[in-house]
Chain A
Amino acid sequence: DQQVKQNSPSLSVQEGRISILNCDYTNSMFDYFLWYKKYPAEGPTFLISISSIKDKNEDGRFTVFLNKSAKHLSLHIVPSQPGDSAVYFCAATPGGTSYGKLTFGQGTILTVHP
């Protein structure tokens, strides 16, 4: 029972273009959502997060959109750079005292071509 799903195992984009990574969830108790980036042999690095009371959050080149009714979130990277090539994970948590319990998607491998 996968509560957080990233249906695209991989995504390839050209440098300077937009990268859009998608994530769906099924658990209505999830209250807070996060995106992490992971390089091989390293731990995940936090990118951006969004609370369920918002529908958009921006941080530099990264924007996360949340559609609660569709139980869908997406990460937009504009413009994409070759250094963005990594595995991207979305994660969700019920928040509150359960905030430390993250449920992760399977990841999407992003490749940005020069």
Chain B
Amino acid sequence: KAGVTQTPRYLIKTRGQQVTLSCSPISGHRSVSWYQQTPGQGLQFLFEYFSETQRNKGNFPGRFSGRQFSNSRSEMNVSTLELGDSALYLCASFKGGPTDTQYFGPGTRLTVL
């Protein structure tokens, strides 16, 4: 079965621009979580969407937003990019239950210049 896919895999933007990243979960998975990985802060939770509703939220500024579509695909958007937003953005999907295995995609490497 196909895994979690993320597009694009690499992205270069300049400060002040905005960016949209996409995540397609495994078929049948209703939950998608987003994480940011940086060398200094490690892997940090951004938000989780379940059945098109944001179910959990991390401690990131409002410039980071997301949404989920009826087919469970999810997008995250970062507005007014800052240099510190350069990171690997990972999404994970699972069926939605409290002990289901969470599967990660390969990530999108965002570089902000």
| A and B part of one assembly | yes
Interface residues of A (CB under 8 A from B): 32, 34, 36, 41-46, 49, 51, 89, 91, 95-107
Cβ of B71 within 8 Å of any chain A Cβ, yes or no, is: no
Would you call B112 an interface residue if the criterion is a C-beta within 8 Å of the partner chain's C-beta atoms?
Answer: no
Contact B98 A46 (CB under 8 A): no
Number of chain B residues whose Cβ lies closer than 8 Å to a Cβ of chain A: 27
- B45, A103: Cβ atoms closer than 8 Å: yes
Taking a contact as CB atoms under 8 Å apart, the answer to whether B102 and A46 are in contact is yes
Measured in the bound complex, the distance between the Cα atoms of B94 and A101 in whole Å is 12
- Distance between A96 CB and nearest chain B CB, rounded to angstroms: 6
Given contacts A32-B98, A46-B103, A102-B33, 19 further A-B contacts (CB under 8 A): A36-B104, A41-B106, A42-B107, A43-B104, A44-B104, A46-B101, A49-B99, A51-B99, A96-B98, A97-B56, A97-B98, A98-B56, A99-B97, A99-B98, A100-B56, A101-B48, A102-B43, A102-B102, A105-B42
Q: Verify B99–A42 contact, CB threshold 8 A.
A: no
Q: Are A106 and B42 in contact (CB under 8 A)?
A: yes
Query: CA of A99 to CA of B92 in the docked complex: distance in angstroms?
Result: 12
Whether A104 contacts B43 by the Cβ 8 Å rule is yes
Interface of B is mostly: strand
Q: Does B26 contact A (CB under 8 A)?
A: no
Contact present for A99 and B104 (CB under 8 Å): no
Taking Cβ atoms with an 8 Å cutoff, the residues of B that contact A are 4, 31, 33, 35, 42-45, 48, 50, 55-56, 58, 90, 92, 94, 97-107
From B58, B90, B99, B106, A101 is in contact (CB under 8 Å) with B58
| Chain A residue at smallest Cβ distance from B42 | A106
Taking the nearest CB of chain A, how far is it from the CB of B95, in angstroms? 11
Cβ of A98 to closest chain B Cβ, rounded Å? 6
Question: Which chain B residue shows the least CB distance to A4?
Answer: B42
Contact A100-B50, Cβ < 8 Å, known A32-B98, A46-B101: yes
A30 CB to nearest chain B CB (Å): 13
Residues of B near A107 (CB, < 8 A) are 42-43
CA distance A51 to B97 in the complex (A): 14
